Amino acid sequence: MRLGIQDTDWGYVGARLAQEGDVEQAEFLKSFIRECLSWGTKHQVELQLAHVNNLLTPNERATLGMLSYEEGH
């Protein structure tokens, strides 16, 4: 799938996704995760996400914190 989407303005895609509802945003994230997990190993996914994390600002990382929030923990 890596070459399936070419010449994409990812800033525009992100802005559009931000304007969607929670159902659409969750479907995007679920598809993203499914695709990542198809790479072969969890380690490959963790490395990629670590690289992405490194490119985010502390405020951006804090904003994404709710994506991994589990009630009662």
pLDDT for position 7: 85
Mean pLDDT for all residues in the chain:
91
Tell me the three state secondary structure of residue 1. coil
pTM for the predicted model, two decimal places: 0.82
In residues, how long is the chain?
Answer: 73
Q: Is the pLDDT of residue 1 over 60?
A: no
Task: Name the pLDDT band for 28 (thresholds 50, 70, 90).
Answer: very high
Give the C-alpha distances (Å, rounded to integers) separating 30 from 24, 25, 59, 72.
Answer: 10, 9, 23, 23
Over residues 31-72, the pLDDT tens digits come to 999 999 999 899 999 999 999 999 999 999 999 999 988 888
What is the CB neighbour count within 10 angstroms for residue 36? 14
Bin 41: left if φ > 0, else alpha if -120 < ψ < 50, else beta. beta
